[in-house]
Structure 1
Amino acid sequence: MSQARWRHRHALGAACTVCLGLGTALAAPRGERVAVDVDTGADVRAFSPLIFGVAYGDAARNAVVGYPLRRWGGNSTTRYNWRVDVHNAGSDWFFENIPGAADRSQVPPLGNAADAFVGETLAAGTQVLLTIPTIGWTPRADSPQAHPYFAGFSVAKYGAQQQTDPWDPDAGNGVLANGTPITGNDPADTSATAGPAFQRDWIAHLQSAFGTAAAGGVRFYALDNEPMLWNSTHRDVHPAPATYDEIWARAAAYGAAIKQQDPHAAVLGPVTWGYCDLFGSAADTCVDGPDRQAHGGMPFVAWYLQQACTQPLPGGARAVDYLDLHYYPQGFDSSSDDDGAALATRRFAALKELYDPDWVSQSWIADLGGDYARPRLIRRVRAWIDQYCPGTRLALSEYRWSGDGSAGGAVAQAELFGVFAREGVDLATRWIAPVAQSRVERAFTLFLDYDGAGSRVNGSSVRAASADADAIGAYAFVSASRSFVLLTNRGTSAQGAQVRFARPLAAAWTLYGFDAAQPVHALASGTLGGDSLVLDDLPPTSANLLVIESGDGIFADAFEAAQ
């Protein structure tokens, strides 16, 4: 632990110094302390533990970290045949049918990938978010179990192509040697038609194996994956750009099938790919075009929400319960481990794309001009929910702010949780689960097991305001037994903060945190007997969680008022 000084100031001005595990010399504060104001009774919004979810990852490691939700998703799940355990990789890998289980004597095959995923996830006490294909095609049941696999663009059938699979030279990338994309191919080369009944039977199987949603089985089903990209990712079977009407028709049909089979299941849609399909369909040019104009000029997601509320299923249930979006920050490589100053600044600034109504994106989004240049993603879509389909929940089932090894990215990930809680995201899954012991994993640990004994941040988000958010990010939460203040030091040098509470408190506190060098650990502790706490020398590029016990009942009262 680096030398540091943590001080707490009483309401009447008296001060005491607390030093835990420090050397004999105390480091001096560096720069001006940033004031952080916390009011546990203001802006109270209960948040869901499902915002701490991930996609895939190692099941054993996932259980250790304690992720509450695990997603089965991505391009390959658009064409997954549960009966024979085969998926088509689409444009990710030469449009090939990739087999799973070798023994197909049972339906589904023993040891199939989907059952294994669901079983190991539920066994760990984690919820499952499962992608249900809606594209209308599934890999053929007679797909080979060894090379050569069925491929969407056979070289023998469609001619020489720019790239081929090194292991299957007959599997091309669908682009002729002269650069012309192949059109008019036969979808039956790899796939057979499969409608809602095919997927309803899959849910029935999952119920027989794991129980219904109400009895501990799969609770969440996503309506495919990024359908507005099908004409690229799965163009061998869906070459035409998807439209407003097509995506809603599929949502209504497959949502009905899911609810008929399991009325307690929650359905997520439309599973957008990013910024453009918030506003227009694949048939449009990013934010506008003929398809949008044919639907009253309404942004696609707003129109989709309108359909969800104005076209209920028989009996009154909605076809879609969660508005499901994917989003990656723009203007930099969100998978990079680079911690250079330029990228670090952009990474933190990009958080504003989620909520700040005045922030102009530092990316191509700015070139769209006008209102489009200011993304405010979460606030924008929450306003659409309130206007067009109140009660719909919000999911970000795919996002990523950095590579697993980035220190700044880990701190940004911690801030993301604060943003999700404050702004009203109900479910989120990072793409993908962090590598074990990685820096980004520390951000999840800070919220899911900050003391190493299973203690989590939960309850409600409450007001926290930093006087200099570019230096110190601030978020606060309250539960029935504790209050939490997340303080992130975005800079490359130590920074002090003065946390000021709206009312005097009398309670014990402990500060936990991580930085580039150290995983989550306890930094200091003390007793708060006033309305202000000074924390000097928050480590460079760090996320720090102040945990305050509710000794005087104030936090419990605020939590109960929020319920």
Structure 2
Amino acid sequence: MPCRHHRPLLCLLVAGCAGSAAAAVNVSVDAAADVRPFSPLIFGINYGDAARNAVIGYPLRRWGGNSTTRYNWQVDVHSTADDWYYENIPGASDRSQVPPLGNAADAFVSATRGWGGEVLLTIPTIGWTPRADSPQSHPYFAGFSVAKYGAQQSTDPWDPDAGNGVRSNGTLITGNDPHDTSSAVTPAFWTPWIAHLQASFGTAASGGVRFYALDNEVMLWNSTHRDVHPAPTTYDETWAKALAYGSAIKQQDPAAQVLGPVTWGYCDLFGSAADDCMDGSDRSAHGGLAFVAWYLQQVCANPLPGGARVVDYLDLHYYPQGQNVSMSDDDSSATAARRLRALKELYDPAWVSESWLADLGDFDANHYSKPQLIRRARAWIDQYCPGTRLAITEYRWGNDGTASGAVAQAELFGLFAREGVDMATRWVAPEANTRVERAFQLFLDYDGAGGRVQGSSVRAVSANVDQVGAYAFSSGARTLLLLTNKTASAQDVNVAFAASPGAQWTLYGFDASQPVHEIASGTLAGTSLSLTALPAMSASLLVISGNDVIFRDGFD
């Protein structure tokens, strides 16, 4: 049986081919079971360098985050809010046209559509936008002027009048005037922006912006944007804004798809900002329903004229809360193992989070300490608003240079496909030639010639998910199998197929030291294949074909 080696660490097991010391992990694959078509929109990102994004070919790019909650499209100015001294930062310098030529939003859409990617654009719903007369150079308008509100703990190094809103004694400044930086607006302020985008790029149905998100992390407005929205956001306010702004979007562009409520993390799955995390008087006043469940209930109970829904995608954010798991360069063995175990927070109903989420307890049907985020969200969808799609538009499982973060990212794609996520955008696009970028390349261009993973997720079962993750896909005449080695040592894997998947196989993959490359190839006879010494902390993609139909290019 042929076994061509591009690296000596992996080959088809034959007599005399030595394996690793540990016992092989058994993996079973059944391409006829658990078939779930998945969308290429799960391979999306936030922002990123436009030129590099075009090289990778990300199918979806999100314009989101804290700065988009207050973006004035008419003058191309955004507020930095709590991220940087509540300042209004200008973009384009020529304001003789509306919107200004070269504005950031147009450039974002143009670049993304230029490589064929879809755009997810945030429509602010907070009711405030940066003032049109915002200065184009320092000193900028700032939410907490030192001259007006007194000395503060910290100021912008480049603008000593822009404070952080905290007095020298540590108390928060309250009662400031939102008009210092911002103007009140209604949904009518945004429909001309959508009309401009339609005129510039086409409608949602004809190649323009298809996806609009209803603001960003609304349950954090009273902290992130407290200079204009100091009151905690409630169930009713969030829904009222969704109905008003979502209706305006759909009226302007009926084919547009709307996402909401854009949660910030775990607590606001269950309660509003007024409830200060999970349970409180606001939740009690709404039948005791978890916030997201109640929100979904409102979506289906309040259709637009003609039957369309005001929200099409349930939009959630999720950052694992374990120590150094999410936004960290830590790649130590302990953190790597914890980071990879945290993947279970997305799907395992028995898994208790290794973070402060465990302290929330398991005293009622919500099982707070056991996140199972995707399955929880899908169950709420099925119960309260069937047919709603699921989006996770911010997440991160480690910084770009972490080997375990790259393996986690590859496995996340398998989980998104298997568990029924319809759209996902990592915060943010990985830097060029980093380890995490390799995970995207493995799915979007594994052979360097446009070969990508698409089609349907099918059944794959690993006998030891803490050692080797297994995720299978069916695409035309191809069967593809993702294998993630989550350990610090090489792993042998025995793969058993329910039926013959084809005759030719090729293995691609990456590890901590090697980018995505072809590792080995051969001929498969029968329904079993044994692979030896999958590299430590690696992701491998086995591609098996018979009479192959290769899918390349495009994001259909």
Deviation, structure 1 residue 214: 0.5
Match of 1:22 in 2: none
1:164 and 1:505 map into 2 onto residues whose CA distance is 63
Q: How does 1:348-359 map to 2 (within 5 A)?
A: 348-359=340-351
TM (norm. structure 2) is 0.96
Match of 2:554 in 1: none
The answer as to 2:190 corresponding to 1:199 is: yes
Deviation, structure 1 residue 30: 2.8
After TM superposition, which residue ranges in structure 1, 4 or more long, deviate above 4 angstroms?
none
The answer as to 2:242 corresponding to 1:251 is: yes
Structure 1 stretches of 5 or more lacking a match? 9-14, 18-25, 557-563
1:215 and 1:5 map into 2 onto residues whose CA distance is 47
Match of 2:408 in 1: 412
Match of 1:445 in 2: 441
Q: Is the 8 A contact 1:100 1:112 kept in 2?
A: yes
Q: What's the CA shift string for 1:411-432, capped at 9, x where partnerless? A: 0100000000000000000000
Q: How does 1:38-117 map to 2 (within 5 A)?
A: 38-117=29-108
SS of the residue corresponding to residue 159 of structure 2 reads coil
The answer as to 2:187 corresponding to 1:182 is: no
1:480 and 1:425 map into 2 onto residues whose CA distance is 21
Q: Is the 8 A contact 1:505 1:552 kept in 2?
A: no
Match of 2:358 in 1: 366
1:237 and 1:529 map into 2 onto residues whose CA distance is 67
Match of 1:560 in 2: none
Match of 1:396 in 2: 392
Kindly tell me the number of residue pairs found equivalent between the two proteins: 542
The answer as to 2:25 corresponding to 1:6 is: no
The answer as to 2:525 corresponding to 1:550 is: no
Match of 1:561 in 2: none
Q: Which of 432, 437, 460 is the equivalent residue of 1:436?
A: 432
Match of 2:301 in 1: 310
Q: Which amino acid aligns with 1:497?
A: V
Match of 2:3 in 1: none
Q: Is the 8 A contact 2:30 2:460 kept in 1?
A: yes
The answer as to 2:111 corresponding to 1:120 is: yes
CA-atom RMSD in angstroms: 1.5
The answer as to 2:417 corresponding to 1:425 is: no
Match of 1:134 in 2: 125
Match of 1:347 in 2: 339
Q: Is the 8 A contact 1:43 1:463 kept in 2?
A: yes
SS of the residue corresponding to residue 492 of structure 2 reads strand
Q: Is the 8 A contact 2:322 2:339 kept in 1?
A: no
Q: Which amino acid aligns with 1:207?
A: Q
Match of 1:231 in 2: 222
1:230 and 1:3 map into 2 onto residues whose CA distance is 54
1:302 and 1:308 map into 2 onto residues whose CA distance is 10
1:440 and 1:5 map into 2 onto residues whose CA distance is 22
SS of the residue corresponding to residue 255 of structure 2 reads coil
1:211 and 1:285 map into 2 onto residues whose CA distance is 42
CA distance 1:505–1:258, shift in 2 (3 Å): closer
Match of 2:286 in 1: 295
Q: What's the CA shift string for 1:520-546, capped at 9, x where partnerless? A: 000000111111000001011100000
Q: What's the CA shift string for 1:95-143, capped at 9, x where partnerless? A: 0000000010000000000011011111111000000000000000000
Q: Which of 493, 505, 510 is the equivalent residue of 2:506?
A: 510
Q: Is the 8 A contact 1:486 1:546 kept in 2?
A: yes
CA distance 1:230–1:5, shift in 2 (3 Å): closer
Deviation, structure 1 residue 27: 5.1
Q: Is the 8 A contact 2:28 2:460 kept in 1?
A: yes
Moved more, 143-152 or 28-37: 28-37
Q: Which amino acid aligns with 1:176?
A: R
2:546 and 2:247 map into 1 onto residues whose CA distance is 46
1:237 and 1:550 map into 2 onto residues whose CA distance is 61
SS of the residue corresponding to residue 499 of structure 2 reads strand
Deviation, structure 1 residue 552: 9.1
Deviation, structure 1 residue 326: 0.3
Match of 1:541 in 2: 537
The answer as to 2:206 corresponding to 1:215 is: yes
Q: Is the 8 A contact 2:7 2:519 kept in 1?
A: no
1:494 and 1:4 map into 2 onto residues whose CA distance is 9
Deviation, structure 1 residue 194: 1.2
Q: Which amino acid aligns with 1:3?
A: P
Q: Which of 144, 154, 165 is the equivalent residue of 1:153?
A: 144
Q: What's the CA shift string for 1:67-90, capped at 9, x where partnerless? A: 000000000000000000000010
1:95 and 1:27 map into 2 onto residues whose CA distance is 62
1:506 and 1:111 map into 2 onto residues whose CA distance is 52
Q: Is the 8 A contact 2:120 2:211 kept in 1?
A: yes
Q: Which of 135, 141, 147 is the equivalent residue of 1:144?
A: 135
